Structure 1
Amino acid sequence: MTVKVALRTLLERSVKKMGNGMNPVVKASALEMVERAYNEGITVQISAGYRSLEEQANLFGQGRVYSYKGKNYSNLAKPIVTKAKPGQSYHNYGLAIDFFIVSDDGRRAIWTVNSKWQRAAAIGKGLGFRWGGDWSSFKDYPHLEMTGGLSYTQLQAGKEPRLTFKLEKREMQKTGKGDNHIISIQKTLNGRYEANIECDGFYGPKTRRALIIGLQTELNKQFNKKLVVDGKWGPKTKNATVTIKKGASCKITWILQAALYMKGFNPGTLDGEFGEKTEAALSKYQKASRISADKLAGKVTWNELFA
Structure 2
Amino acid sequence: MSQQQPVEKTGGRPARPDASMSLLNNVMEHSLDDGYAEAAARRGEEGRSGLPRTLRAKLGLAFGLVLAALVVTLGAAQAQVAAPTVAKERQELIDRVEDGTREADELQRQLATLRESVARMQREALRHEGGDSGELVSLLAAATPVEGPGVKLVVDDAKGSGGDGGGPRESSGFADTGRLRDRDLQRVVNGLWESGAEAISVNDQRLTALSAIRAAGDAILVDNKPLVPPYTVLAVGDGRNLSTTFQDSADGQYLHVLQENYGIRTSISVQDKVRMPAAPSLNVRSAEPLERGKGSTR
TM-score normalised by the chain length of structure 2: 0.22
- Please tell me whether Structure 1 or Structure 2 has the larger radius of gyration of its CA atoms: 2
Question: Hey, which of these two has a bigger chunk of strand by percent?
Answer: 2
Question: Hey, which of these two has a bigger chunk of helix by percent?
Answer: 2
TM-score normalised by the chain length of structure 1: 0.22
* Larger RCO (alpha carbons 8 Å, 6+ apart): 2
